[in-house]
Structures are given as structure tokens and as C-alpha cells.
Amino acid sequence: MKKVKAAVFASGTGTNFQAIMEKDNLFCEIVLLVCDKPGATVIEKAKGYGVQEFVFLPNSYSSKVEYERELLEKLREKDVEWIFLAGYMRIVGQTLLDAFEHRIVNIHPSMLPKFPGKDAFLQAFQAGVNKTGVTVHFVDTGIDTGPIIAQQEINIYPDDTLETLEERIHRVEHQLYPQVINQLIANEKE
């Protein structure tokens, strides 16, 4: 059976991208990596998997509309139907939201609506709470807002360091995100 095509958007290390690529029996084919940070480690990872990458410099465009129009062209050339944000540290604009309604998904390292934005695990760690988590949600115009698809709680222990907490969060993300991706695609086929 032909697999539906998807793109991953990422800005950094790409451990979530890697987890998606390594998932046994992923129900979609990742045909494009979009990255807004030349030099990001995720680009090398995409090359390793033979996934075509499109790297762009947002500042070299006059507006978000302008660069998202170009992204849209690339996505259409590749017949992309789903966009999975995996550490893409940029607000998605109306151009992409309109073209991919309910088809842009994000993962965030907290129990949203708690601790949105950057460094969510650091925010939780500094807040001194004993639980945080991971959220997968549909993307809307806000920062880490949009309807929640799945959440998993994670304990923060008194002897945790930022590193041990980050590691635990990543472990959960790497399991949860590929699972949710498969679930979304399976649901659509029903």
C-alpha cells in the first residue's frame, strides 16, 4: 500500500526527527525535512536517512508570508499531506495553516497549557514542580496552543538535574510522537 507523504520541520538536534525515522512500520513516508537553521545537526541526520532537506534563512525573506509561500511550493512538489513539527522553533503562519488545516502537528516538552514556549523543561525545573510531561497537539496561530491530541505525564524527582530531566522527557517524546503520528494516519483511513 502506498504511504501518505509527510514533512518534518525542525530547527535543532533532531532527536525527535530521528525517532520518527527509526519507528518500525511508520504509516507515512517522510519525504522532506524543512529547517530554518543552516548548520543544525538535524540536517546531517536527514542526509543520513536520504531524506531531502530544504534549509532556508527566514531573515533573507521580506516576510513570513514570502518564505511560507516557498515552503508551500516545496511541500506541494513532494505531495506532502502532513507536517510534523519536531523542535521547529518558529510560529507557523496563516499561509501554511490554511493549506494544511488540521494537518500540522507539534510536540512540546510540557503538559500544555503549562510552560509553553522555549526551554519548557527548564521552566518546569525552575518552577520546582514535581510533575511535567509531553504534549502532542494540532498547531494553530499561537505558541504551543491548539487542540491537544495526546499527553503523557513525567515525574520530576528531588535528585533530578536538568540533564536527567531532559533525558527522561526526550525518552517519552521519542516513544510518544511516532505512535501518535501512526494513530493520526490510521484514524484518517478508518
102: annotated active-site residue: no
Residue with Cβ nearer ligand GAR (95 or 110): 110
User: How many Cβ atoms from other residues are within 10 Å of residue 22's Cβ?
Assistant: 11
**Which x/- pattern over 4-43 shows residues binding ligand GAR (rule: CB under 6 A)?**
------x-xxxxx---------------------------
Q: Which residue is nearest to ligand GAR (CB)?
A: 87
Residue with Cβ nearer ligand GAR (69 or 129): 129
Residue with Cβ nearer ligand GAR (95 or 135): 135
Instruction: Judge whether 10 and 39 are in contact, CB under 8 Å.
Output: no
- Written as one string, the DSSP assignment of the chain is -PPEEEEEEESS--HHHHHHHH-TT-SEEEEEEEESSTT-HHHHHHHHHT-EEEE--GGGSS-HHHHHHHHHHHHHHTT--EEEESS--S---HHHHHHTTT-EEEEESSSTTSS-SS-HHHHHHHHT-SEEEEEEEE--SSSS-S-EEEEEEEE--TT--HHHHHHHHHHHHHHHHHHHHHHHHHHHH-
How many residues form the binding site for ligand GAR (CB under 6 A)? 14
Q: Is 173 one of the binding residues for ligand GAR (CB under 6 A)?
A: yes
Residue with Cβ nearer ligand GAR (75 or 169): 169
What minimum distance in Å lies between the beta carbon of 2 and ligand GAR? Answer: 27
**Which x/- pattern over 130-169 shows residues binding ligand GAR (rule: CB under 6 A)?**
--------------x-------------------------
Look at the chain and count its residues.
190
Q: Report the interface residues with ligand GAR, using CB under 6 A.
A: 10, 12-16, 86-87, 107-109, 120, 144, 173
Residues recognised as catalytic:
108
